[in-house]
Amino acid sequence: MRIARPLAILLFLLGCGGDATPTDEPTSGAEAPPERYDVPSGDVQAALAGAHRTDEERARDRWRHPAETLAFFEVEPGKDVVELWPGRGWYTKILAPLLRDQGSLTVGLTDPEAEGYRGTLAQAFFEMQQAHPELYGHVRTAVLSPPDHTELGAPESADVVLTFRNTHNWTQDGVQEAVYAAAFRVLRPGGILGVVQHRDAEGAEADAERGYLPQAFVIETAEAAGFELVEASEINANPADTHDHPNGVWSLPPALRGGEEGREGFLAIGESDRMTLKFRKPLADAEGESGDADESAEDGGGADESADADAAS
């Protein structure tokens, strides 16, 4: 008869008698438990300084300006925030502790069942969440795999939706309109859509394969979804980026896809030139619908509210 492994171990220990003394030392070959990080909540500077961030991640702060960028997008404790396609979690590592005790964070992940790189990224997030529940245990997840899966949460449940350097991917797949529409649906009236994206030269074609997009194209995409442009910031601009590299944005750090060829020159340029755009979901839509309903009631009519198939996305 086969004995279950835990029972077999127990029987072995009982057979050894009572002379054995417990020890805190891990047995040979056993993995040590992951380190637990005590990162104060509600403080962006504490999140930036936290030991959970690697040296490589901190080194990129000079190019990505996280504190300034999040302030520009009106991200603060108490807000309900959705981050789209967090990649390896560079910003998630800042947002999660910041919003842990006040507010909420939802990440719209690529499909974890997908083959290849995108599925691997989603699986990596769940592994990170499982390893460090003290940092990420409260983070909600949604599958953002457009055009089929675009449900980011209940309609009008978020204050801020953020996307960092993703719009070229959606444009290359032809689903950018679906994603921006999903962001519009999940935001409350007056809510903010914050977009950071590799920026091409003015007047350039929307050639997403190089990673760059013209700023006007991104603005048009957001406005077509119903957003209003509030402000464009130069927080993440890099005038040294000429936008014409052999491997597109991936010629530049941190990717440095060209290897040693031209490496020093690309390091001197730094990370890509990026647009930083703040959009708002208009309040007028909600006010207008309310006014129309009131007028209808006064006229003795009624409002027929039918649920769209994607109402919850």
Contact 248, 241 (CB under 8 A): no
- Residue indicated by tokens 């979901």: 281
Domain range annotation of the chain:
37-237+273-297, 242-272
Q: How far apart are CA 130 and CA 137, in angstroms?
A: 7
User: Which sign, positive or negative, has the C-alpha torsion 219, 220, 225, 229?
Assistant: positive
The rounded mean pLDDT for the chain is 86
- Average pLDDT (218-246) is 98
Q: What is the pLDDT of residues 120-171, one digit of tens each?
A: 999 999 999 999 999 999 999 999 999 999 999 999 999 999 999 999 999 9
pLDDT of residue 111: 92
Q: DSSP letter string over 214-274?
A: -HHHHHHHHHHTT-EEEEEE-TT--TT--S--TTGGGGSTTT-TTTTTTHHHHHHH-SPPE
> CB-based contacts of 237: which residues, under 8 Å, 6+ apart?
199, 273, 274, 275, 276
Comparing CA positions, the residue from 270, 236, 193, 280 lying closest to residue 66 is 236
Q: How far apart are CA 112 and CA 122, in angstroms?
A: 5
> From residue 310, how far is each of 82, 90, 151, 183, 306 by CA, in Å?
18, 30, 7, 12, 12
Comparing CA positions, the residue from 176, 270, 194, 201 lying closest to residue 232 is 194
pTM: 0.81
Domain 37-237+273-297 in this protein, CATH class: alpha beta
Give me the residues paired with residue 277 across strands. Answer: 195, 232
Confidence of residue 218 (pLDDT cuts 50, 70, 90): very high
pLDDT of residue 207: 87
Q: How far apart are CA 69 and CA 63, in angstroms?
A: 11
Q: What is the pLDDT of residues 287-302, one digit of tens each?
A: 444 444 344 333 333 3
Half-sphere exposure of 311 (CA within 13 A, CB side): 5
- Tokens found for residue 219: 């603005």
Q: What is the pLDDT of residues 39-85, one digit of tens each?
A: 999 999 999 999 999 999 999 999 999 999 999 999 999 999 999 99
